[in-house]
Amino acid sequence: MERKRLNRTHLLRNGWTALLCAACLLAGGCTADSETGSEAGTNRDEPGTPVALSISSLNVSQPHTRAASAGYTEITDPGAQMGLFRKKEGTWYTATVENLPYEYRIIDGVPRWAAPPSATAAGTLWLNHYEAQIAACYPYNSDLAVANTGTGDGIVKLTAAERDADAPQDLWYGHTSANNRNPHIGSLQLRQAYCRMQVTVVYDKNFSYTAGDTYLYDLTISGGRAAGDTQNTGIYSTGTLDTFCDGMDGYAYVTKDYTAISKVASSEAYPLDETADATRAKFDLMLLPNTLTGAVNFSVVVGGTAKGTDTREMNVDIPAADFGGTLEPGKIYAVKLTIKGMDITKVMTATTDWNPTVTKGSGTTADGQQHFDLSVE
């Protein structure tokens, strides 16, 4: 009997020991979750099974073609692509994911954004137990200018340019997060990286100083910053954008001012007319958004058939207040300049939300010159 009691006591002790060990393991697991901030994660040494990221819907602000819902519209074009970035994080996200193409396609009867069908494992964005910071750029561009190649930090280069009506350089971006417990993002909303400035130049023929037709040779936009301002405000032609940031915080600026048009021969220059409908001097420009602390200067060089011998440079300053003090992403700023004799005598401005939908009076002429309805008459 004594022997049996000892065995029973021994078993009870072993049982309590096992329960205590289990409790310690559970407590340790909760502590690890708390430290990582995850909902049901593991410790940093066990990132878990990789799961591929997928996205149900991609929505961009101020759409090209479809009716918007609350300022956004869903992209559902088969084969449409966006580029993805994933930030490097500690020892759990070490591979570079940089402008990785994801495609809108049907998977098991369900539409979603995922790696293209031909993609290898390296062409898929993988998630583990730790929260991954993900940024997206739409549309996908294999030549997207990345500022810090190989880092995956999502900083892209921006360059002011004349907008191509047939192949717009529009860029939308946004960011989100995911892990392998929540690898499926329901909706991703992207905002525009650029603003647009539509500039048209007309000429009062009653005050012509050239014998024949009058042409626009150069257009430069500069300033926008107060004297002594060192805060990188105003007009810039190049800069960068951190796609993991929101609002204006993600912009950095490199090259001041912007020469939009510079021609030498009259055959390349833009004939001026007295009406906005007839003049060829209309330019749809993509600019870097920024705060304005001073007047924006518009400089034009006009003349006859020979630049340099019968040309004249004219300037006008437009107060920052006329643009609301800021060139905002996703806005269009329309500027109409009227030249009368030797000066710019009239300036008209208007600001609207970006709406690339073709409107009356918009399109492309037979010789490839873009024209559009400025709505500032």
Spell out the domain ranges in the chain.
51-149+169-192, 195-371
Per-residue pLDDT band for 318 (boundaries 50, 70, 90) equals very high
Helix extents (H) in 161-301: none
Fold of the 195-371 domain: Immunoglobulin-like (2.60.40)
Length of the chain, in residues: 377
pLDDT beyond 90 at 376: no
Per-residue pLDDT band for 234 (boundaries 50, 70, 90) equals very high
Q: Which residue has the tokens 């591979």?
A: 95
pLDDT beyond 50 at 214: yes
Nearest CA among 345, 284, 342 for reference residue 316: 345
Give the pLDDT score at 94.
87
Give the pLDDT score at 28.
34
pLDDT beyond 90 at 17: no
The token duo for 171 is 């860029």
Asked if the bond preceding 139 is cis, omega within 30° of 0, the reply is: yes
For residue 282, give the amino acid letter: K
Give the pLDDT score at 47.
64
| 366 Cβ contact partners less than 8 Å away, ≥ 6 residues apart | none
Quick one: what percent of the chain has pLDDT higher than 90?
Answer: 55
Burial 21-39 (b: 16+ CB within 10 A, else e): eeeeeeeeeeebbeebebe
> Distance between CA 376 and CA 168 in Å, rounded?
23
Give the pLDDT score at 306.
80
Mean pLDDT over 13-26 rounds to 38
CATH superfamily of the domain spanning 51-149+169-192: Fimbrillin-like (2.60.40.2620)
Helix (H) or strand (E) holding 102: strand 97-107
Per-residue pLDDT band for 136 (boundaries 50, 70, 90) equals very high
Give the pLDDT score at 241.
97
Mean pLDDT over 253-267 rounds to 95
pLDDT beyond 50 at 278: yes
Give the pLDDT score at 8.
40
Mean pLDDT taken over the chain: 80
The two domains 51-149+169-192 and 195-371 share their CATH topology (first three levels equal): yes
> Distance between CA 365 and CA 362 in Å, rounded?
9
pLDDT beyond 70 at 61: yes
